[in-house]
Amino acid sequence: MDVLTNDLVPDAGGSRPATFAKTPEAAEVDAAACAITALASPEGLWPQQLDTGWQCVSTPAGACVCPTDLPAQGWLAAQVPGTVASARRAAGLLDAVNPPPLAFDDHWYKLTLTGTGKRRLRLHGLATLAEVWIDGIRRIESDSMFVAHDLDIELHGSATLALCFRSLTPALAAKRSRARWRPRLVTPSTLRNVRTTLLGHMPGWCPSVQAVGPWRPIEMLSDAPHAFDTIDLTSRLEDDDGVVSITLHFVHPHDVDACVAKLNCGSCVSSLQWSDAYTLTGSVRVPHAERWWPHTHGEPTLYPLTLQLDDEDAISHSLGSVGFRSIEVDRGADGMGFALRVNGTAVFCRGACWTSADLVTLTGTEAQLRHTFALARDAGMNMLRVGGTMVYESDAFYALADAYGLLIWQDFALANFDYPTDAAFTASIEREATQFLTRTRRFASLAVLCGGSEVDQQAAMFGLPASMRTQPLFTEQLPAIAARERPDVPYVSNSPSGGAWPFSTNEGITHYYGVGAYQRPLDDVRRAQVRFAAECLAFANVPDDATLHEALGTIHLHDPRWKRAVPRDPGAGWDFDDVRDHYLQTLYGIEPAQLRYEDPERYLDLSRAVVADLMSDVFAEWRRAGSTCGGALVWQLQDLRPGAGWGLIDATGRPKSALHGLARTLQPIQMVMTDEGLNGLDIHLLNERAEPLHAQLDLVCLREGSVKVASASHAVELAPHSAQRIGAAAHLGQFFDFTHAYRFGPRAHDVTIATLRDPASGRIVSEAVHLPERRARERYDLGLTVRVERSADGWQLIIEAKRFARFVHIIDTHYRAAHDWFHLPPNRPCVVPLVPVEKLVAHASNAAFKADATCLAPAGEVRAINAISAILYG
């Protein structure tokens, strides 16, 4: 039978629900305040996770027809939820670099169940061709990893639950309708017929760790009198009020005349009604409800929900939390754009495409999720996209997105293929999509539903006209399901889509790789007229030295281990190292091959710097006043393996230079500058907050990094949710060749620095730098100094320079800089907090990121790409 999940986030120890208080003021928000907090609740009401005592064994495909054929030897302890790969990793038997093709053998799991009486098992996800056996009798066959199953059983003391995950080979060989196109991204192409993730099947950029096993929780519903079966929660806005509706099914019947039930949302209470002896329904209204906002535009306010049963006992049960918000699409004056309005306010959506917190488990721990979400939020991101090549994420993922104020663009798990149209496949998609939307119905962060990734684009690039590439799956079936289950979330058929061709950049949704894979110049960003980039800017982003040494044991750039981690498109004669090198040469005037031979350390530093430059510049263009771009998401957020992958965050959880570059451009109160050539330099002031901004704008031009040749200072005001463009020449009040476009004689300056300050305190609110010449050959004595200090919160560095320092970065084995890869004006001390490097204790029962307790004091070096040498500290 199909199942509605109970939409609750379990704590580390089992199946208790979680809730959130209202998020505090932005200045006080940290990861701990946003964390999921498990509340005490009477035991036995929630489903019991069957997460211990499992064993697994692998056999050749078809070798064991039923559990009685299984071998007595070779069993491993297994984690559930988990995968065969995670069981092998825990046993030290997984070669993550060269993993075996797990999807093409059979794998068995077993667990002994104990108890007496009728029980219901709930299996939330089995990857992929699975059988469920009870005491040697096959009870379920499943052909999709994306659907959940319920199984009613009766226990008489003990029983053996066995799960078999069959080889994909027969399903891949089965006859189905002929595909109109075959993408090169995925191997084999017949995976179109199987409802499994493409992760592990995409050579060139994804490790071949294939998804096999019970990757989602397996539960047994409680036998307690008030035990919950399913909970379906929705929230909506009616005028200025918030309304929460609930349908709650119990495992056992109740005396509807004796059992009184109430639903509390914050301080508001409403009585619930019994539809039958098993089912409570009703709603509660919150007058003048505070809105849930993406964190860049306000507070992601969440209201705690509690259920009260029986007045005389006043037993309250936490049901988690909900937020109230509205989301609609703004197509622009010409009807060709795509942007979101949240609560009636335009939101520039920026962030990255999600891959996986842990490719081996396909889920990761709550600690891993929280760590990554905090990095994304602190960088100024407000949207993450879960693409069609990935998996539907856990309830914890969406709950944390609610708490951190991050919008989620969600593709259905469909990508690239011409999918089957037979009744069985259509029914499977119906069940999959309905279950997913029901499970995530409560989450305010779900902002866009997308049919699939690059499906229409693939067909169009093969030359098929629109009439031959249309799939009713995306134009009829999925939009109907979305409208029925989540009418509050906009639906788009494909990413990309819109325009004469789906991949046109100036209409609808695009995947923009003009600056990136196509090696276009920076001015292409404006020429492309991007309206919304659901993917963009893929580069082979180099991790820091600590990651390279720890994970690869080498920094030799043509070592096979290096190249194995560099992404490439199948069939291409180049990889994304080559893309980065192109910009290293065109922007910095460096011949990459020669520098790599002569000074590999500097080559790596400049490689890190150039992607930070590119990320910052492209988003400055898209965020400028007057831009028609409604948002952009970088490909990708996290690496799937150590090395120079697409990720902004490396495989160990450390942010890369690209993320720091983005952080300089994505903040809610932000200043950026754009080079307008003969029209000079434009300064753009952005205020996404609901309060007006009063600030002082300082502008200074320096020669030789220290000699002031022009300066001006004026008060500025920005209305709430507004952008303002100020010409640098107008701000200065006289002609000055800021961009060195007129070239009347030698260049008069080498850097322009614009600083936005709070007029009362002098605190820097935002800062932007423009270099009229970006060549990176010259290096100087910058008079750089570094001092280590102990603060109330830990360690910090005080960095100062006598001359403008370009891309200052900190290297410390045991610490990472809270901000890094930044420009430092002369004679202005900069305080950089140091964060202890945290490592995941992967196999602990309470798996979490923990700092290295053996580290006492920082010791490392500070570099700048225009400095002659590094400065040591500690």
Quick one: pLDDT at residue 851?
53
Q: At residue 813, does pLDDT exceed 90?
A: no
Average pLDDT, rounded, for the chain = 91
Q: Which of 48-62, 311-325, 451-465, 695-709 has the lowest mean pLDDT?
A: 311-325
Residues 6+ apart with CB under 8 A from 115: 155, 157, 223
Taking the mean position of all CA atoms in its chain, how far away is CA 412?
15
- Between residues 561 and 33, which one has the greater pLDDT? 561
Which has more confidence, 728 or 176?
Answer: 728
pLDDT at 149 over 70: yes
Rounded alpha-carbon distances, angstroms, from residue 404 to 20, 24, 130, 384, 454? 11, 11, 36, 12, 29
- What are 77-102's pLDDT values in tens digits? 999 999 999 999 999 999 988 899 99
Cβ pair 196, 89 in contact under 8 A: no
Q: In which band, very low, low, confident or very high, does the pLDDT at 22 lie, cut at 50, 70 and 90?
A: very low
* CA–CA gap between residue 703 and residue 307 (Å, rounded): 67
CA nearest to 505, candidates 532, 472, 469:
532
Span 802-807, average pLDDT: 98
What pLDDT digit, counting tens, does each position of 480-521 carry?
A: 999 999 999 999 999 999 988 998 999 999 999 999 999 999
Q: What is the predicted pLDDT for the residue at 311?
A: 56
- Quick: pLDDT tens for 716-774: 999 999 999 999 999 999 999 999 999 888 999 999 999 999 999 999 999 999 999 99
**pLDDT, tens only, 389-417:** 999 999 999 999 999 999 999 999 999 99
pLDDT: is 28 or 104 the higher one? 104
One fold for 669-770 and 785-873: yes
Q: How much is the pLDDT for 141? A: 98
CA angle 435, 440, 443 (to 5 degrees): 165
pLDDT of 839 higher than 60: no
Is a pLDDT exceeding 60 seen at residue 37? no
Q: 1.10.10.10, 3.20.20.70, 3.40.640.10, 2.60.40.10: which CATH number matches 669-770?
A: 2.60.40.10
For 6, residues 6+ apart whose C-beta sits below 8 A from its C-beta are 46, 47, 228, 229, 230, 231
CA distance 370 to 290: 25
pLDDT tens for residues 236-257? 999 999 999 999 999 999 999 9
**Two tokens at 436?**
């997913």
Q: How high is the pLDDT of residue 627?
A: 97
Per residue in 265-290, pLDDT tens? 999 999 999 999 999 999 999 999 99
What distance in Å separates the CA atoms of residue 387 and residue 382, rounded to the nearest whole number?
16
Name residue 713's beta-bridge partners. Answer: 698
Domain ranges of the chain: 48-220, 352-659, 669-770, 785-873
Q: What is the pLDDT of residues 346-384, one digit of tens each?
A: 999 999 999 999 999 999 899 999 999 999 999 999 999
- Would you say how long the chain is, in residues? 874
Determine the pLDDT at residue 273.
97
% of the chain residues with pLDDT over 70: 92
Q: Which residue has the higher pLDDT, 647 or 846?
A: 647
> Do 343 and 294 form a contact (C-beta atoms < 8 A)?
no
Give pLDDT, residue 499: 85
**CATH superfamily ID and name for 352-659:** Glycosidases (3.20.20.80)
* Cα separation, 258 vs 868, whole angstroms: 81
Enumerate long-range contacts of 91-95, CB under 8 Å, 24 or more apart: 94/360
Considering the four listed CATH numbers 2.60.40, 2.40.50, 3.90.25, 1.10.3470, the one that applies to the domain covering 785-873 is: 2.60.40
What is residue 32's predicted lDDT score, i.e. its pLDDT?
Answer: 32
Cis peptide before 81 (omega within 30 of 0): yes
Residue 42 has pLDDT above 50, yes or no: no
pLDDT of residue 315: 73
Residue 342 host element (H or E): strand 339-342
pLDDT at 23 > cutoff 50: no
Mean pLDDT check: name the lowest of 203-217, 486-500, 511-525, 826-840. 826-840
In this structure, which CATH number among 2.40.50.140, 2.60.120.260, 1.25.10.10, 1.10.10.10 belongs to the domain 48-220?
A: 2.60.120.260
- The tens digit of pLDDT for each residue in 772-785 reads 999 999 999 999 99
pLDDT for 846: 39
pLDDT tens digits along 754-763: 999 999 999 9
SS (H, E, C) 147-199: CCEEEEEEEEEEEEEEEEEECCHHHHHCCCCCCCCCCCCCCCHHHHHCECCCC
Lookup: tokens for 513:
């790789």
pLDDT of 2: 36
Q: pLDDT band at residue 526, thresholds of 50, 70 and 90?
A: very high
pLDDT for 128 equals 97
Longest CA–CA span in the chain (Å) reads: 94
**pLDDT, greater one: 15 or 490:** 490
Q: Is the pLDDT of residue 36 over 90?
A: no
Give the model confidence (pLDDT) of 599-643 as tens digits: 999 999 999 999 999 999 999 999 999 999 999 999 999 999 989
Count CB neighbours of 30 within 10 A. 12
Computed from CA positions of residues 497, 502, 507, 512, in that sequence, does the dihedral angle turn out positive or negative?
positive
